[in-house]
Amino acid sequence: MSDAASAIAIEDLRFRWQPTRDWVLDIPRLAIARGESVFLAGPSGSGKTSLLSLITGIAQPTEGCVRILDTRIDHLRGAARDRFRADHFGIVFQLFNLLPYLSVLENVLLSCEFSAARAQRAARRSGTPAGEAVRLLGRLGLTDPQLHRRPATELSVGQQQRVAAARALIGSPPVIVADEPTSALDADLRTEFVTLLLQEVVEAGSALLFVSHDRQLAAAFDREVDLRRFAPAPTPP
Amino acid sequence: MSMLTLARKSVWNRRSTAALVVLSIALSVVLLLGVERLRTDARASFTDTLSGTDLIVGARGSAVNLLLYSVFRIGDATNNVSWRSYLALAARPEVAWTVPLSLGDSHRGFRVLGTEVSYFEHYRHAGGTPLRFAAGAVFDDVFDAVLGADVARRYGYTVGDTLTLAHGAGKASFAEHADKPFVVRGILAPTGTPVDRTVHVGLRGIEAIHADWFAGGPVPGLRLSAAEVRARALTPKSVTAVMVGLKSKTQLFNVQRAINEFSDEPLMAILPALTTQQLWDLLAVGEHVLLGVAALVVVCGLLAMMTALMTGLNERRREMAILRALGARYVQIFGLVLGEALLLTVAGIGLGLLLLQALLLLVLPLLNARVGLSIAGWPPSWHELTLLGAVLLAGFIAGLVPALRVYRYSLADGLTIKL
């Protein structure tokens, strides 16, 4: 697999949050192809969150490089990195994905506020960004138009996670990053959510990096990567 | 939806806290501007106690003392101006008018001023406002009196009532001029000046009640009835002070010097506006303390805002992390918090101005009627706008602290949402 075909390509990456702290990650090489769905497994403390911060350009690698679609995100300057993230990433958190003071629809459209490119892509698909938001919410099982106007916090946790997925998917960003999005859901909802998410990711043609410690879900993905492979060697005392 | 809309909706989401913050800023602004306006207007009222009079002439002594007894009816003269000197002064070619003032008697704690009818024409206050009669007219007979507004209100006097004067300035006097009562001929409208607390009678009236007196007491065995006194010439031997108006202001310092060098008698001429200003400067400490306290209240209001913003931050870390993940720039996050602080401060200032205006509309007519104090309404002066600018700047600084804190959070939190 050449780097040109990669959605995410990591080389010789080493990372620690502060110079005095221990290394958190040591990844000689990790590549995720465009459109590929990858299940990233690892217990807590294995550096999952750090890796996601590095991939999305919120943190900078201490050594090595992170390439997203041929762009060295670690070489971009602050504001350019933020713009790059807005254009190329859809992100779903574990919990509390939504702004409580916005409606469901406004929450989904928030992605288009920070990225004109995504707003355009969404409009190309459904006429307007709002039309695309309604379409995605419908695909994820939230069809009731009255529900779209309600404050996000009035929804159940399962519904909130689907709204978050719609927000990540709108405007078809090339990379979707999901940080344990199912951990607050019960078993039935978990499988349903993952199935819906994968369907939409395939349709959008995005790569998906799905982080979870729930290995039962791994079978639904193209590939599984265990983060423990990249644990740095313990520093000698 | 712009960042501004986002900020607005975010504030609206926390509207009860925000409303309290706005209210506390508004109240502190009301206090600051209220004190400031009262301060400047009290000063203006004070310095406007006497206007249109170019010089006040009295026996040589302290300038402030002369002003105090002649205009503010506080304290006593150490010496008088002889009637001959008064006539010589009035005859000077530069002098347009003179009003003699004779003090030394009282009525139930209020000072009695002996003067001439021209006093009511030439006495001006608050930037040239003449005295106005609420009832009746100027005194005419020897035993007529014109009351200031406070005197009439305090004892419920109306035109036609009689009153007796007492010798000296005390409230309880043992030397009453009880045999020669005066009739209230007129009552003045409130002015907010010492005129309100003065009983005005003619110079001849003052002479009349002292016609059978000598050296501060009745002459034993000499009793003159009101009718007998009336028949006398009643020319005063001296007056306490003289208000002087000049034909031309350019003569001011020449005339002042001439009076100060008057050879027959040691006299002194003061510029009332200048001396009033000096007197106010003596009292200015209190006014500065007042403004200082008001400024401290504003600081408290802004501290309340800072506290509210800081307490809300932990809850809002999630909000910030979501926005960062969506591609919001640091500067936008920073602006969101700072913008909110500015929004609250501006709203507080706006509400404060409205409250103050409403308060003034309510209280002004009352103040004007009761104490004659006039406080300016709308619009705020430049000085007040500067003060408001300072409040806004302080709000900006108070907003910087939480904004910087949230900026640090968003650097440290990365993509996680710490709770």
The candidate with the shortest Cα–Cα distance to A142, out of A159, A167, A120, A124, is A159
Burial code of A60-82, b = ≥16 C-beta within 10 A, e = fewer?
A: ebbebebbbbeeebbebeeeebb
- β-sheet bridge partners, residue B122: none
In a domain, A65, yes or no: no
Number of residue pairs across A and B with CB atoms under 8 Å?
A: 74
In a domain, A181, yes or no: yes
Q: In a 10 Å sphere around its CB, with 0-12 CB exposed, 13-18 middle and 19+ buried, how is residue B314 labelled?
A: exposed
In a domain, A233, yes or no: no
Whether the CB of B340 is below 8 Å from some CB of chain A: the reply is no
Q: What is the pLDDT of residues A149-182, one digit of tens each?
A: 998 888 888 888 889 989 999 988 999 999 888 8
CATH of the domain at A110: 3.40.50.300
Q: What is the pLDDT of residue B78?
A: 81
* Separation in Å, CA of B319 to nearest CA in chain A: 6
Residue A2 banded pLDDT, cuts 50, 70, 90: very low
In a domain, A164, yes or no: yes
In a domain, A19, yes or no: no
Task: Find the CB nearest A113 among B1, B10, B318.
Answer: B1
Mutate to test the interface with A, among B3, B14, B316, B415 (most CBs of A within 10 A): B415
Q: What is the pLDDT of residue B340?
A: 85
Give the list of residues 6+ apart from residue A68 with CB closer than 8 angstroms, or none.
A7, A8, A9, A55, A57, A84, A88, A174, A175
Euclidean distance between CA atoms B276 and B227, whole angstroms:
42
User: Per DSSP, which regions of B151-297 are E strands?
Assistant: 162-163, 166-167, 182-188, 198-202, 213-214, 217-218, 238-239, 241-246, 267-270
The candidate with the shortest Cα–Cα distance to B66, out of B241, B282, B193, B245, is B241
Mutate to test the interface with B, among A102, A113, A149, A179 (most CBs of B within 10 A): A113
Euclidean distance between CA atoms A222 and A226, whole angstroms:
14
Name the residue ranges covered by the structural domains of chain B. 3-46+284-413, 55-270
Instruction: Tally the domains of chain A.
Output: 1
In a domain, A3, yes or no: no
Give B 312-331 residues with CB within 8 A of chain A. 318-319, 321-331
Q: What is the pLDDT of residues B251-275, one digit of tens each?
A: 889 999 999 998 888 999 999 888 8
Euclidean distance between CA atoms A211 and A225, whole angstroms:
10
The tokens 């400047």 sit on which residue? B40
Point out the least confidently predicted range of A89-98, B68-77, B165-174, B400-409: B165-174
In a domain, A183, yes or no: yes
**Which domain covers residue A96, as residue numbers?**
37-49+79-226
Give A 49-88 residues with CB within 8 A of chain B. 49-50, 52-53, 56, 58-59, 78-79, 82-83, 85-87
Average pLDDT over all residues of chain B: 83
